[in-house]
A and B are shown apart, each in its own frame.
Chain A
Amino acid sequence: MTGPTKPINPRGTKYDRVEFPVFEFPVVGKARYNYTTGEALGRFLAGLKEGKILGTYCNKCGRVFVPPRMYCSYCFREVDGWVEARDEGVVNTAVMSYISATRARLERPVAVGVIKLDVPGYQFDDHFFPGLMHYICGASEDDVKSMKIFGARVKARWKPPEQRTGSITDIECFEVARP
Chain B
Amino acid sequence: MTSRNINFKHRVAVVSAGMTLFRSRMLETPQELAWLAAKQALDEAGLTLKDIDCVVIGSAPDAFDGVHMKGEYLAEGAGGIHKPTIRVFVGGATGVFVPIAAWWHVASGLCKKVLVVAEEKMSHAAKPHTQYVFRYIWDPIVEKPLNPNLIWIFAMEMHRYMYKCGVKKEDIALVSVKNKRNACGHPSAQLCMPNITVDDVLKSEVLVWPVQLLDISPTSDGAVALVLASEEEARRITDTPVWIKGVGWTLDTTHWTNRDLAYPEYVRRAAEMAYRMAGIDNPRKQIDVAEPYDPFDYKELHHMEGLGLARKCEAPVLTREGVTQRDGDLPINPSGGLLGVGNPIAAAGLMKVAEIFWQIRGEAGARQVKKPVYTGLAQAWGDLMQAGTVIVMGI
List residues of A whose CB falls within 8 A of some B CB: 1-15, 17, 20, 22, 25, 33, 35, 37, 41, 44-45, 65-67, 69, 73, 92-104, 109, 112-114, 126-135, 141, 144-145, 147, 150, 167-169
Cross-chain contact B19 with A95 (CB below 8 angstroms): no
Contact of A128 among B23, B25, B259 (CB under 8 A): B259
Cross-chain contact A112 with B152 (CB below 8 angstroms): yes
Which residues 118-175 of B have a CB within 8 angstroms of A? 126, 128-129, 131-132, 135, 139-143, 145-149, 151-152, 155-157, 159-160, 162-163
Interface centre among B141, B159, B163, B258 (most CB of A within 10 A): B258
Contact of B160 among A44, A92, A134 (CB under 8 A): A92
Contact of B259 among A3, A11, A95, A127 (CB under 8 A): A127
Tell me how far the C-beta of B2 lies from the nearest C-beta in chain A, rounded to whole angstroms. 17
Cross-chain contact A135 with B207 (CB below 8 angstroms): no
Tell me how far the C-beta of B3 lies from the nearest C-beta in chain A, rounded to whole angstroms. 17
Q: Which chain B residue has the least Cβ–Cβ distance from A38?
A: B141
Q: What are 24 sample pairs from A and B whose C-beta atoms fall under 8 A apart?
A: A3-B363, A5-B367, A6-B365, A7-B40, A10-B20, A11-B21, A12-B36, A13-B26, A14-B25, A15-B25, A17-B25, A41-B141, A67-B257, A93-B261, A95-B209, A100-B149, A103-B149, A112-B146, A112-B156, A126-B262, A128-B258, A133-B143, A133-B257, A147-B159
Tell me how far the C-beta of B159 lies from the nearest C-beta in chain A, rounded to whole angstroms. 5
Q: How many residues of B contact A (CB 8 A)?
A: 73
Cross-chain contact B149 with A97 (CB below 8 angstroms): yes
Cross-chain contact A95 with B210 (CB below 8 angstroms): yes
Given contacts A37-B141, A41-B141, contact A14 B188 (CB under 8 A): no
**A residues in contact with B208, CB < 8 Å:** 95-99
Contact of B364 among A6, A35, A93 (CB under 8 A): A6
Complexed CA–CA distance, A73 and B159 (Å)? 27
**B residues in contact with A131, CB < 8 Å:** 257-258
Interface centre among B40, B149, B157, B221 (most CB of A within 10 A): B149
Which residues 256-303 of B have a CB within 8 angstroms of A? 257-262
Cross-chain contact B26 with A15 (CB below 8 angstroms): yes
Q: Would you call B194 an interface residue if the criterion is a C-beta within 8 Å of the partner chain's C-beta atoms?
A: no
Q: Would you call B48 an interface residue if the criterion is a C-beta within 8 Å of the partner chain's C-beta atoms?
A: no
**A residues in contact with B162, CB < 8 Å:** 147
**A residues in contact with B368, CB < 8 Å:** 1-3
Given contacts A7-B17, A41-B142, A144-B209, contact A14 B373 (CB under 8 A): no
Binary interface encoding of chain B residues 353-387 relative to chain A, with 1 for a CB under 8 A from any of its CBs, else 0? 01000100111111111101100000000000000
Given contacts A2-B362, A12-B26, contact A67 B145 (CB under 8 A): no
Cross-chain contact B142 with A67 (CB below 8 angstroms): yes
Cross-chain contact B23 with A12 (CB below 8 angstroms): yes
**B residues in contact with A95, CB < 8 Å:** 152, 155-156, 159, 208-211
Tell me how far the C-beta of B395 lies from the nearest C-beta in chain A, rounded to whole angstroms. 12
Tell me how far the C-beta of A45 lies from the nearest C-beta in chain B, rounded to whole angstroms. 7
Complexed CA–CA distance, A33 and B142 (Å)? 15
Complexed CA–CA distance, A11 and B259 (Å)? 43
Binary interface encoding of chain B residues 177-206 relative to chain A, with 1 for a CB under 8 A from any of its CBs, else 0? 000000000011000000000000000001
Complexed CA–CA distance, A69 and B36 (Å)? 46
Complexed CA–CA distance, A73 and B253 (Å)? 9
> Can you add 15 more A-B contacts, CB < 8 Å, to A7-B18, A126-B260?
A2-B362, A2-B364, A2-B365, A7-B17, A14-B24, A22-B126, A33-B140, A65-B258, A95-B211, A98-B208, A99-B151, A141-B209, A147-B159, A147-B162, A168-B143
Q: Would you call B255 an interface residue if the criterion is a C-beta within 8 Å of the partner chain's C-beta atoms?
A: yes
